[in-house]
Structure 1
Amino acid sequence: MKKGNVRCIFSILVCLLLGAKVYHMHAHQHDYSKEIETLLSRMTLEEKIGQMNQVNFDSLSDELLQQVENGEIGSFLNVTDPKVINILQKAAEKSKHKIPLIIARDVIHGYKTIFPVPLGQAASFEPAIAETGARIAAVEASEHGIKWTFAPMIDIARDARWGRIAESLGEDPFLSSLMGEAMVKGFQGRDLTAPTAIAACAKHFVGYGAAEGGRDYNSTSITPYALRNTYLVPFQKAIDAGVLTVMTSFNDNDGIPSSGNKYLLKEILRKEMRFSGLIVSDWNSVGEMITHGFAVDGKDAARLAASAGLNMEMNTGLYVKYLKRLVEEGRISISDIDASVRYILNVKFCLGLFDNRYLNISKESAIYSEKHLQAAREAAVKSAILLKNDNHTLPLREIRKIAIIGPMADAPYDQLGTWVFDGEPEHTVTPIGALRDYTEYKDIQFVYEPILRKSTDNDTVNFRKIRQTVETADAAIVFLGEESRLSGEAHSLSDINLIGYQSDLLREVKKVGKPVVTVIMAGRPLTIERDLPYTDALLYCFHPGTMGGPAIWDLLFGRANPSGKLPVTFVREVGQIPLYYNHNNTGRPAPDHAKTLYDKSGEKQSSVGDVSFYLDSGKEPLFPFGYGLSYSEFKYSGLSLSSKKIGMKGSLVISVTLKNTGNMDGTEVVQLYVRDRVGSIIRPVKELKGVQRVNLKAGESKVVRFVLSPDDLSFYGMDMIRKPEPGYYTVWVGGSSNTDLQETFLLE
């Protein structure tokens, strides 16, 4: 069998309804169609269905090994012992067709070396951070035999109550696309047959992040326009980047669960988006169609999923139990079965598993290498967002002694964040651990008193220690936030204030009269408006991972300059949700600084002149998308366009002068926003269309340029065709989504 020595993505355009075998190969990619068709022609129906069966591994047994030898299992979840994997692969090699297993695991933001949660990585606005993190995760996970991960999660997330917002890349389709594409490239590498390449999985298809009320697994009601212009955008980018697999979501949209939605999978994903990889269900999502009330029983659920084009079933076992009977009854087409098996076999061929299924368990380990740890530290630095810095409290200078307080200062597991099945707290470097063990911080005097043991702690008995702890120090650093278990899957919250007595703790520290710096580690954007008056500076870190401790001190002491920007809007209070920057305009948009109820006391009730906003919390968020401070100050000026008019085949160069007017070298994330003033459907008030991280020395200036093409302005309009529409457009360039430096051009 010929080895694939180049990166292979087997692009199959299959007319699923007819079961036609139509292959389309990208240039320079190996075509495994002959090998696949040869295998298919020799396989029994039972063996084909076995390839569609993914099983959660529990323990080795003679019965399990016999199932593998019989070809009844195509993939295993959650095996991480290389010796066990080799035993399983040996059993697969004893099967009639010697088809290798593919071993899968949730490796979301690191395997052993844990990077910031994906929402944190998105805050860097730097695709290289995401690609490096995914590459390191792939290197470490593949060492233990994992060849398939269920990441990146590219659900657009606009509700901070949803626990899985931590796993998302934020609220914006452009940024999510940019970072998701980078993760796909990082996981899969340049050569899919390389030992360190693992298959990426774009999830969850589709709309899962729009769950009602932020309640996990809940229904969505996404319109066809919103689906294509917002929620499908990152998936298309991942497909264009060559992602090998896509996972269906738990939710129903408009009454149809994704795992049984034939229109969604066959018409949109396969035909419109031209996805030619493997579609896998989420955990038990096929069986859950019964609970939804969409399927009568397990047999009906298997029929619906297989007919819809779902290729591999995760964990439920309904395919193995019912598909053969459904084919024999003529209720499932054999062409659908064959199409699914082609996709599955193609992934295994592309990953080189037919040639290299066994692990070399004696090779030197790369896990926790210095290179990996340094990359994780850099990612944590670039992911942190400075939200407040009154009177230049930070960076800390001429500080002889600091008081360290709070439950997150030395919480090695919680610092890692959600989805860290394989993360090891004993390898986590916490802020306290960094001060104790890192030579660059050995000379810093500190006194440490957590006061609260956990973020959920409701015992205030140690509050009496606050004054004596802080009084002897020059400044207090208060570490607050969320334990890892408070965010992630199935961890939705209706109250997203700092939990427990953390806000009370901060107020008591402030009373002592020393400068107060707050560091928050959390998996979501918390509602922290009530806490801001009680701190002089605030550094926000979405759970920063293994190397969060030294990264935080790098920032607080000025060894690094904060550069992170918010990938999601911070609301003032939970009642403002959903609130996101790229919303549509209403016919009565609220003006800036619209008066609240408290500003209008004594007025009679009237609807004349009223506008769209909250009477109590106004129209503005606490912090807008794209916001983040620096120890440097950046001035934007001289915004200019290469032309005031462009044609449908032209392009526009947008230039702006950026100057670091501060006295410290720094990095600014320059952001380009666009608005289509009038469209065939209402267009968002602003849309992110470009980002650049620009490094400037103190006092240095640079002209930053963006190139905008008509395709960048394309969207699905009233005719449901993606194209740019002629008319006037406004462009903004600045350091956040609320920038006001703007120009206008005409697209003809």
Structure 2
Amino acid sequence: MEQSIDDSILAYGTVLDRRGLMMGSLLTLAVGSPICAKMAAAGSHIDGLISRMTVEEKAGQLSCFNDEVRPVGAVFNPVVNAQGAEAQLAAIRAGRIGMLFNGYGVAGARRAQDAALASRLKIPLLFAADVIHGCRTIFPIPLAEAAAFDPDLSERAARAVARETAAGGLHWTFAPVVDVARDQRWGRVAEGAGEDVYLNRLLAAARVRGFQGPDLRLADAVLATPKHFAGYSAVRGGMEYAAVDMSDAELRETFLPPFAAAFAAGAMATMASFTDVGGIPATANRHLLTDILRGDLGFSGVCVSDYDADRELIAHGIARDEADAARLAILAGIDMSMQSGLFNAHLPALVAAGAVPMARVDEAVRRVLGLKAKLGLFDDPYRSLDLAVERRETQSIAVRTTARDVATRAIVLLKNAADILPLRRDTRIALIGPFGRDTANLNGPWSFAGKADGIDLATGLARFTDTLSVEPGSAVDAAIPGGIDRAVRAARSADVVLLAIGEAGDMSGEGNSRVEIVVPAAQQALAEAVAATGKPIVVVLRHGRALALHGAVRDANAILATWFLGEATGHAVADILFGRCEPRGRLPVSFPVATGQQPWSYDHRPTGRPAPVGEPMKPGAAHWRDAADAPLYGFGHGLSYTRFLLSDLVVRWRGPSVIELTVVVANIGERDGSALVQLYIRDRVASRTRPVRLLKQFRWVAVAKHEKTRVTLSLSRDELALVAADGTWRVEPGDFDLWVAQSSDDSGLHGEITVDK
């Protein structure tokens, strides 16, 4: 996989000056060209509207509310400021609402847009939603998609989702989540791309490109919203909505680069984090939302608050009342208030009292109206509101085929002792566990408009075998009377047990932090009882995070990480189990030995007292008494149905700014397959301590059985940069270790390079 110019961004102001790049692009447009003329006309129209707007109408454009005209029934947040459909339509006609979110369907959207066009200024509405991993057709959760390690696949998936989303009457998605997540206790790990900065950067840009397509004005384009700005995933103890404290260097090196990549890919919206960041909640944090977001990152789009987050400034203890909360939010850089209604209720009086400058209000309104112009809504307010398109694109063959492709690519084979997989079709199988016939938990968290009607495991397996018995054995987190006894009998009559266990759909996602990230006790007891039969066990995990596996689950003959795969679950898992498809997924998060290791990531910094290799418990060295400082399965890990061997590493400079590495990849197994070749680096001596390893490149290579091929990886010198001790981004001269490996905990092949001044 070759790097693109967007992929080379390390963080703001490093490789590319994004503002300079944007200005350069604008200057290449010929004066008087159609694009320039359209941009000028839109700007003139917006200025004219702002000059005619009352402060109440301006506040309305900066206010968005849960769509009660076309509700979908899913509730993800506490109910606040409920209005009812008729009251909401009246507010739209009065110019008091600029956007509706989390509604679905063209007919209702047209009704709401009719109301907007009956307002005094006829400013069209925006329609948005939390389309996190599919709209009507539910795709794998983003963490599962990240396991494919394939930006092209992620872009294709986002494009398919965008087509269906726009067809349902939506212009804007509150995705992708680009929070780098190192603590698996945090429920929203499920919504992002895992623990690595580089993979997050690539997938952030890919998903933005996929959602938005080549032109935001096209009817199937959906505005992307990289979120949550910034540092949300570093919450204390992995607890949802808790406080965040980190160094400036950590923010800049770890949490901002995916945002920079998303903005460079064209994202024109972002959402502020719920959390307190360094003692100041993001919603009121001017340093974060203005100095860094606008100044350092050069972002010029719309910053929307999270749900009711401005009102929550009172609970945080930094706002005296609702008016004070509204003042703090808009002055910090929030352009649009979500659900609280505080901008509508208080901005006019705040402006009148001089507490909020009208210029700041106009700035926010100009951004919101500019977004509507970029989406083509002033030219066609009914863009993406076509009933015929809705019928054609909703759950189309194309979108469902893509969902199945992603689901198959997302599955990670963690363990396969004695090559128990793939299964033979004549194998007598006992499918045991609460997820054997389950459809309620296929989708996982944030399937806002989806239905629980996907393909369960039993249905998927039935295509390959007619010797299948199914027993739940237990519920997700409770015993079933007689359940274990029936499961044990089924296991004794089978050749192989498929143990379908893990998390329920509501155990991951927003508001679902876990103190112990383990298989629930009732299912663990089931696993131990079934293992006592001595039959071979294949664990089929369902989960939204990395789990700490214990006992019979950890010791099973084979383990598949299948995440929440959405509607195609049964087909995708069966295709892998029976060898119709090769397992290609790799872990975007490290599976810990125990929950107590959290937070943990492969790219941790070294200690001054490292435990010697082979002596993890040496006195006076850094260690836990009861676990190694290592994962059960590390980032990048994943097995295939064949085996690969890396050899003959060559490292050299190609010119002054590119490091070229070549390696031979040999398939030494009995099946064709694909290897994921991963490149890691370490800066040996630097002005700040450096991670023990950092992923900087990867590439998929297809190799036929008994064949080998030479692979080339290219690494830009700029990828060696760090936030130095003096706070500047730069490449420091010195020696660097390089590893080409098949996972972060694989020793791989070692090379080195020296960087001169």
Normalised to the residue count of structure 2, the TM-score between the two structures is 0.91
Are the structure 2 counterparts of residues 379 and 467 from structure 1 closer, same or farther at C-alpha, using a change threshold of 3 Å?
same
Deviation sequence 1:207-232 (CA, Å, 0-9, x none): 11000001100001011010000011
What's the counterpart of residue 281 of structure 2? 257
Q: Does 2:621 match 1:611?
A: yes
Deviation sequence 1:9-45 (CA, Å, 0-9, x none): xxxxxxxxxxxxx999745665232232222222222
Q: Does 2:121 match 1:97?
A: yes
How far apart in 2 are the matches of 1:85 and 1:700? 56
Instruction: Give the gaps of 5 or more residues in structure 1.
Output: 1-21, 601-608
Structure 1 stretch displaced more, 373-382 or 303-312? 373-382
Cα deviation, residue 391, structure 1: 0.5
What's the counterpart of residue 76 of structure 2? none
What's the counterpart of residue 381 of structure 1? 408
How far apart in 2 are the matches of 1:575 and 1:335? 50
How far apart in 2 are the matches of 1:482 and 1:631? 26
Residue 651 (structure 2) aligned to one of 617, 641, 645: 641
How far apart in 1 are the matches of 2:497 and 2:123? 60
Which amino acid in 1 is paired with 2:460? A
What's the counterpart of residue 458 of structure 2? 432
What's the counterpart of residue 411 of structure 1? 438
The runs of at least 4 consecutive aligned structure 1 residues that moved more than 6 Å come to 22-25
What's the counterpart of residue 752 of structure 2? 744
How far apart in 1 are the matches of 2:312 and 2:497? 50
Q: 1:479 aligns to what SS in structure 2?
A: strand
Are the structure 2 counterparts of residues 479 and 110 from structure 1 closer, same or farther at C-alpha, using a change threshold of 3 Å?
same
Is the 1:672–1:731 Cα contact (8 Å) retained in structure 2?
yes
Which amino acid in 1 is paired with 2:236? E
How far apart in 1 are the matches of 2:333 and 2:23? 17
Q: 1:178 aligns to what SS in structure 2?
A: helix
What's the counterpart of residue 226 of structure 2? 202
Q: Does 2:326 match 1:297?
A: no
What's the counterpart of residue 135 of structure 1? 159
What's the counterpart of residue 729 of structure 2? 722
Is the 2:609–2:621 Cα contact (8 Å) retained in structure 1?
yes
Q: 1:86 aligns to what SS in structure 2?
A: helix
What's the counterpart of residue 271 of structure 2? 247
Is the 1:594–1:618 Cα contact (8 Å) retained in structure 2?
no
What's the counterpart of residue 4 of structure 2? none
Which amino acid in 2 is paired with 1:510? A
Deviation sequence 1:125-160 (CA, Å, 0-9, x none): 111222122112211111111111111111111111
Question: What number of residue pairs does the alignment pair up?
Answer: 707
Cα deviation, residue 711, structure 1: 1.4
Which amino acid in 2 is paired with 1:573? A
Aligned pairs (5 A) from 1:217-616: 217-358=241-382, 359-363=385-389, 364-397=391-424, 399-426=426-453, 428-436=454-462, 438=463, 441=464, 443-452=465-474, 454-459=475-480, 461-532=482-553, 534-596=555-617, 610-616=620-626
Deviation sequence 1:527-568 (CA, Å, 0-9, x none): 103334541111111111110111111111111111111111
Deviation sequence 1:358-394 (CA, Å, 0-9, x none): 2111344222222222211111111111111111100
How far apart in 2 are the matches of 1:123 and 1:94? 48
Deviation sequence 1:163-190 (CA, Å, 0-9, x none): 1111121011111111111111111111
Cα deviation, residue 62, structure 1: 4.3
Deviation sequence 1:433-464 (CA, Å, 0-9, x none): 2234x5xx3x5321111122x31123352211
Normalised to the residue count of structure 1, the TM-score between the two structures is 0.92
What is the alpha-carbon root mean square deviation over aligned residues? 1.8
Q: Does 2:70 match 1:43?
A: no
How far apart in 2 are the matches of 1:693 and 1:371? 25
How far apart in 2 are the matches of 1:376 and 1:65? 36
Q: 2:442 aligns to what SS in structure 1?
A: helix
Instruction: Give the gaps of 5 or more residues in structure 2.
Output: 1-21, 30-34, 70-83
What's the counterpart of residue 168 of structure 2? 144
Residue 677 (structure 1) aligned to one of 663, 684, 689: 684
Cα deviation, residue 422, structure 1: 1.2
Q: 1:703 aligns to what SS in structure 2?
A: strand
Which amino acid in 1 is paired with 2:539? T
Q: Does 2:652 match 1:630?
A: no
What's the counterpart of residue 13 of structure 1? none
Deviation sequence 1:515-538 (CA, Å, 0-9, x none): 211100111111103334541111
Which amino acid in 2 is paired with 1:177? R
Is the 1:506–1:534 Cα contact (8 Å) retained in structure 2?
no
Are the structure 2 counterparts of residues 466 and 534 from structure 1 closer, same or farther at C-alpha, using a change threshold of 3 Å?
farther
How far apart in 2 are the matches of 1:62 and 1:112? 26
How far apart in 1 are the matches of 2:62 and 2:124? 13
